[in-house]
Amino acid sequence: MALDFLAGCAGGVAGVIVGHPFDTVKVLGLYKGLGSPLMGLTFINALVFGVQGNTLRALGQDSPLNQFLAGAAAGAIQCVICCPMELAKTRLQLQAAGPARAYKGSLDCLVQIYRHEGLRGINRGMVSTLLRETPSFGVYFLTYDVLTRAMGCEPGDRLLVPKLLLAGGTSGITSWLSTYPMDVVKSRLQADGLQGTPRYRGIVDCMRQSYQAEGWQVFTRGLASTLLRAFPVNAATFATVTVVLTYIRGEEDQVDSEAAPGASTTPAGPALAQPSSL
Ligand SMILES: NC(=[NH2+])NCCC[C@H](N)C(=O)O
């Protein structure tokens, strides 16, 4: 039950350590400001892998459809955290630099938004975030499951870690590609109204105005940098989660088998535990 959350924590830490430089490469310190994303994304990944693993077990059968459904459930639930986090990140990025800046940091930003706009303000962009994350996390976990099975990922395979990294990175890319236009819309809605009157009346109006003003290319804006970051971050995340789960569960199986009457003396090697294996 709790192992998936624990493994998700480890995966989140790995993903932030690999991915943070992509967010801060503009400033001198590659790991400057590591603190808040480390806390936020570690918690989100614990939530994602915990919900996905437990949902898949609750669904009862490890099928491709259930892999997608369990991932989609995890993607929807983590929006509760992800949406306000991305709203704060967007506002901090857009605020005037220097002493005139409105927010001291992510938490101060969210507190001010809540004071001025209440819960509705905190959840600005929630529907578009749900539309982006729910299907994309289904694709995320389904792709990883299909690729690791297709590559025959097994403990003791001397190419196990490279295979996990390839499957994880590819899953990150396919998941971002699957709903990227909605990411563009979500970002525009969360930034809307910061410098004057809001432009958009909602998701469809935002898509219509953006297409009319900038053409279909607007929905691929920032895609290259997103994919450049997505591969290493998710390669590290998935490989870490799988290795952590495999060895923790392998230890558990070993303890159980040794404790069982008439247990064989040869140590039971850990079977490869998919992040969401039953
Ligand atoms: N919007 C998505 N593609 N979500 C699935 C991947 C999420 C992953 N934690 C990342 O930051 O890349």
CB of 52 shorter than 6 A to ligand 1: no
pLDDT for residue 31: 61
Q: For the chain, what is the mean pLDDT?
A: 86
* Best residue for ligand 1 mutational test, from 17, 81, 175, 237 (most atoms within 8 Å of Cβ): 175
Distance of CA 2 from the midpoint of ligand 1 (Å): 22
Burial bucket for residue 167 (CB in 10 Å: 0-12, 13-18, 19+)? buried
CB of 176 shorter than 6 A to ligand 1: yes
Distance of CA 45 from the midpoint of ligand 1 (Å): 10
Residue 229 CA: nearest ligand 1 atom is: 12
CB of 140 shorter than 6 A to ligand 1: yes
User: What are the φ/ψ torsions at residue 18 (nearest 5 degrees)?
Assistant: -75, -40
Instruction: Give pLDDT tens digits for 223-276.
Output: 999 999 999 999 999 999 999 988 887 766 666 665 555 444 444 444 455 554
Residue having the nearest C-alpha atom to atom 11 of ligand 1? 230
Determine the average pLDDT of the residues in 99-104: 77
CB of 231 shorter than 6 A to ligand 1: no
Q: Is the pLDDT of residue 23 over 70?
A: no
Distance of CA 228 from the midpoint of ligand 1 (Å): 12
Determine the average pLDDT of the residues in 143-156: 92
pLDDT for residue 268: 41
| ipTM of the shown complex | 0.96
Compare 199 and 193 and report the one with higher pLDDT.
199
Residue 178 CA: nearest ligand 1 atom is: 3
Distance of CA 196 from the midpoint of ligand 1 (Å): 31
Residue 139 CA: nearest ligand 1 atom is: 5
Residues 194 and 92 sit within 8 Å (Cβ to Cβ): no
Alpha-carbon distance of 71 to 62, in angstroms, equals 12
The whole-model pTM stands at: 0.85
Instruction: Give pLDDT tens digits for 40-59.
Output: 888 999 999 999 999 999 99
pLDDT for residue 81: 94
CB of 233 shorter than 6 A to ligand 1: yes
SS in 3 state form for the chain?
CHHHHHHHHHHHHHHHHHHHHHHHCCCCCCCCCCHHHHHHHHHHHHHHHHHHHHHHHHHCCCCHHHHHHHHHHHHHHCHHHHHHHHHHHHHHHHCCCCCCCCCCCHHHHHHHHHHHHHHHHHCCCHHHHHHHHHHHHHHHHHHHHHHHHHCCCCCCCCCHHHHHHHHHHHHHHHHHHHHHHHHHHHHHHHHCCCCCCCCCCCHHHHHHHHHHHHCHHHHHCCHHHHHHHHHHHHHHHHHHHHHHHHHHHHHHHHHHHHHCCCCCCCCCCCCCCCCCCC
Question: To the nearest whole percent, how much of the chain has pLDDT over 70?
Answer: 83
Structure tokens at 49: 């892998």
Distance of CA 171 from the midpoint of ligand 1 (Å): 9
